[in-house]
Amino acid sequence: MAAYLERAGGNPGRSGHRLSVAAARVVYEAREAVAELFNVPDPLRVIFTPNATYALNLAMRGYLRPGDRVVTTSVEHNSVMRPLRALEKKGVEVAVVPCARDASLKPAAMEKAVTPATKLVVVNHASNVTGTLLPVAEVATIAHEAGALILVDAAQTAGCVPIDVQEAGIDLLAFTGHKALLGPNGTGGLVVGADVDASEIEPLIAGGTGSSSESEEQPETLPDKFEAGTVNAVGLAGLHAGIRFVTERGVEAIRARGVALTRQLAEGLAGIPGVKLYGPADPEKRTAVASITVEGLRVSDVGLRLDDDFNILARVGLHCAPAAHRTIGTFPEGTVRLAPGVFTTAADVEKAVAAIKEIASA
């Protein structure tokens, strides 16, 4: 990012001078990196947005019309549920498929809900509360058999779980840059699959793109149609660097390490009286996330003690996903969420388990 500001810094696509050309090159290289990571044949179908929330809104608000039917699950983040509830008030039919208490989804339940009238199916790849992985490829098959598209929220998995949009049959993939892709805040995007007719999706905003400047109409070409205004080029330089790190390490290797740390964390927490871990018991069925409660203690108090006394940072509460907490039975208090990352060590996990044990026994 520092190199971008020092050597480029122009407005990408807005001029022919060297700084603008250098900036445009940085943006396109980031687009290519995303395409390679998710196996997207055409990098121009990678749309950059400020975050996954914007990407999800673009897909849902841009594609759904009054009278359409959309199917989602009971463990979605508010970045899905709030736009859908707003669309529901405008005449979009919203069907919510209940998940199990561990936040897992049975394809049979989805198959029952996805009717020929369904236009879009929206699922997260993994719950941000429990880490539970959903059967995205199976849901995609169900959606396609009914003539619907599938939109996948990959905010929790992009960079730490392998994603192949072609192999999984994903039509629309929303991702964020600031989590497992190791990029900065303010970066993310929407992958528009090769079989998706982009003319059926309306942009959220319109404006300058640096292309077709002779026209006062928004261009239909991708990615320009959905990228009005100056993109966060310095942020995308950071995103590209993060993706390079991830691809050099290997997503499969990152995933394996995450599974090992999650297993260590789950096994350590299981031996502490009064501590309850939510989500699947098998770490292969979840991302590196552990949501817990401690009997007799408020989650906010547990989180505060972890921070103040042990220098361990955890997120507490409802995690912007009240539907998921209702599903697993932790609403309205929520949980304490521990999330080992790519730089977390086994010693860090051991320290966290010891801290929780001390807090629970106080």
Catalytic residues: 320
C-alpha span between 212 and 216 (Å, rounded): 9
Which of 171, 117, 175, 162 lies closest to 139 in space, CA to CA? Answer: 171
Beta bridge partners of 322: none
**Structure tokens given for 209:** 């793109």
What contacts 192, CB < 8 A, 6 or more positions away?
A: 45, 46, 47, 171, 172, 198, 201, 222
Give the count of beta carbons closer than 10 Å to the beta carbon of residue 161.
Answer: 19
What contacts 309, CB < 8 A, 6 or more positions away?
A: 355
Which of 166, 174, 179 lies closest to 201 in space, CA to CA? Answer: 174
C-alpha span between 242 and 247 (Å, rounded): 9
Q: Could you tell me the sign of the dihedral formed by the alpha carbons of 305, 310, 311, 315, in that order?
A: negative
C-alpha span between 116 and 342 (Å, rounded): 42
Our CA angle for 83, 199, 166, nearest 5°, is 80
C-alpha span between 53 and 155 (Å, rounded): 9
